[in-house]
Amino acid sequence: MRPARMTALALLLIILVSAVACGTGGEQGSTPTSTATQTSIPTPTPTLMPTNTPVGSVTVSIDAPATVKKSSSRYFHAQVNISAVTDLDAAQYDITYDPDVLRIQDITAGVVSGTTVPVEEWTFIPANTQGVVRITNSIPKAPGVDGEGYLADIYFKVMGDPGEFSPLSFVEGLGDPLGYLMINSNIGLEIHATWVDSTVTIE
């Protein structure tokens, strides 16, 4: 074989080998393998939004005798008690009862750790009708009262007969205008409260 022809064949062989190595002469449709590294995107941390959560926590309960003997006394007292509270400034609450069994005669101020808690107003809902009473406490010109005691003293007259009973229940959204259960601090923030009812039975 002539040297010129051998040189041409060698050159052609080099071209074919180079084409295969570069992927241009392989099987149709083959895809080169990528060597890029995938970058992990960090998950953003959710932002916690502040909630309008009432400050503090107290229990407000109606302290009344479980039974009342109509034959020995037609009157009794029930107190609206409050557990340890901080910065007490005001309160408003509605109480329902059975007017055929009990009638309210008067409501007077409470006392929390030696400090008088005035009853600013008490009224029947609707007006002049026994059955639902709305009581409002307000402590004027005070930095807020700390301690425990009672918000109001309710003086009841017994109207029912032996065996009859009346719940004494806190209620929200009753009457006209609608009432609500509220304990406020001296900076105008609501104090979370648990409201506990009672029942009086006539003997």
Confidence band for 193, pLDDT divided at 50, 70 and 90: very high
Spatial separation of the C-alpha atoms in residues 78 and 107, rounded to whole Å:
10
**Angle, vertex CA 56, rays to CA 193 and CA 173, nearest 5:** 30
Whether 2 maps to a domain, the answer reads: no
Whether 28 maps to a domain, the answer reads: no
Q: What is the mean pLDDT of residues 122-140?
A: 95
Whether 45 maps to a domain, the answer reads: no
- The yes-or-no verdict on residue 111 having pLDDT over 70 is yes
Whether 14 maps to a domain, the answer reads: no
| Gyration radius (Cα) of the chain, Å | 41
Q: What is the mean pLDDT of residues 41-52?
A: 43
The whole domain housing 173 covers: 62-188
Higher pLDDT, 142 or 160: 160
pLDDT tens column, 174-185: 877 788 899 999
Q: What is the pLDDT at residue 178?
A: 82
Q: Kindly report the CATH number assigned to the domain that includes residue 173.
A: 2.60.40.680
Whether 116 maps to a domain, the answer reads: yes
Amino acid, res. 14: I
Arithmetic mean of pLDDT over the chain: 81
Q: What is the mean pLDDT of residues 95-102?
A: 97
Q: What is the mean pLDDT of residues 129-136?
A: 97
Tokens 């005798």 label which residue? Answer: 65
| Cα 200 to the center of its chain, rounded Å | 30
How many domains in the chain? 1
Q: What is the pLDDT at residue 85?
A: 96
Spatial separation of the C-alpha atoms in residues 117 and 119, rounded to whole Å:
7
Confidence band for 67, pLDDT divided at 50, 70 and 90: very high
Q: What is the pLDDT at residue 54?
A: 53
Supply the DSSP symbol for 16: H
Spatial separation of the C-alpha atoms in residues 160 and 175, rounded to whole Å:
24
Q: Cβ-count burial of 117 within 10 angstroms (0-12 exposed, 13-18 middle, 19+ buried)?
A: buried
Q: Could you tell me what percent of the chain has a pLDDT over 70? A: 72
- The yes-or-no verdict on residue 39 having pLDDT over 70 is no
Q: Cβ-count burial of 76 within 10 angstroms (0-12 exposed, 13-18 middle, 19+ buried)?
A: middle
- The yes-or-no verdict on residue 38 having pLDDT over 80 is no
Residues sharing a CB contact under 8 Å with residue 184, sequence separation 6 or more, in sequence order: 88, 89, 90, 91, 190, 191
Whether 88 maps to a domain, the answer reads: yes
Higher pLDDT, 23 or 135: 135
Higher pLDDT, 159 or 32: 159
Whether 114 maps to a domain, the answer reads: yes
pLDDT tens column, 18-29: 444 444 444 444
Higher pLDDT, 146 or 28: 146
Whether 44 maps to a domain, the answer reads: no
- The yes-or-no verdict on residue 97 having pLDDT over 50 is yes
Spatial separation of the C-alpha atoms in residues 146 and 83, rounded to whole Å:
10
Amino acid, res. 161: D
